[in-house]
Amino acid sequence: MSTDNFSISDIELAARLRTVALDAARQAAPILRDAFRHGVERENKTNAHDLVTAFDRQSEQIIGEHLLAAEPDSWVLGEEGGSTGNGSIQWIVDPIDGTSNFTHGVAFFCISIAAARDGVLLAAVVLDPIARLEFTADAQHAYLDGRIIAPSPRPAQSHANIMTDYPSAEALVTDGDLALETFGSWVSAFATVRRKVSAALALAHVAAGWCDATIGFDTKPWDVSAGALLVRRAGGRFQGFSYDGRDRPAHEAPCFMALGPGAEYPVLEASVQRILAARKVAWHAK
């Protein structure tokens, strides 16, 4: 099924899934809002840079139960709980994208929910509980608080602002000096480079026109799926990249680049190719 050739029934399904996902996110948002900056206890999931809280788990449970009840022919892929349910519709859920920000009192985190069928994204929600912003998308449009987001051309590279969490501590180990050289090239090429620690919310800001581009490596589907659809429906470009030889949908690839409408940023394109080339060599050497 092509993302550019939806049937009427596909369009209707996507609109309904968007509503279901938004309702689910709205149920979890007050819990996160109330807990924020109130001494949230955190645990290391894989390391000190990868955190989890009881609110991640609680939020995912609330969201998952609502999604499965509203759409019985579906299953949930959650960051914390793995796979639950069975059906033709896949929900891809990150209950708190930006847990590190959430636990440290930084107001840049979100709930991210995407719906897909046969690898094709149909609907998306990225809800910012602190700013109370609701970014959504269906088969036709991207929306901010229910209003259609109109494509807005982005500035030239030297006047653009980008968001990225690269290089992470893990990327410094993997990519070595190339990681720091790459980050330095971005600082020199763009007006600003911001590190926001939430890929989903960064993508939503690209869709809204508040950020011109974002790029990430070593991401998971729950980090980018909802944001990928937002960017595309807002007239931008989302690309996924792989270095392990696997053919997969863009939102399932481990690396991504997203650009606002009309954006052409050669330094980002070149950076992706250099990093992927180095990682492909390392991957094939294993």
Where is the binding site, in residues? 79, 94, 96-97, 223
E strand or H helix that includes residue 256 = strand 255-259
Residues at the annotated binding site for Mg(2+)? Answer: 79, 94, 96-97, 223
Dig out the tokens for 44 from the structure: 């290391």
The beta strand positions in 33-157, using DSSP E, are: 43-47, 50-52, 74-78, 82-86, 89-97, 110-117, 120-128, 133-137, 142-144, 147-148
Q: Which residues, in sequence order, are bridge partners of residue 215?
A: 164, 257
Short-list 116, 141, 120, CA closest to 234: 141
Sign of CA dihedral 260, 233, 248, 210: positive
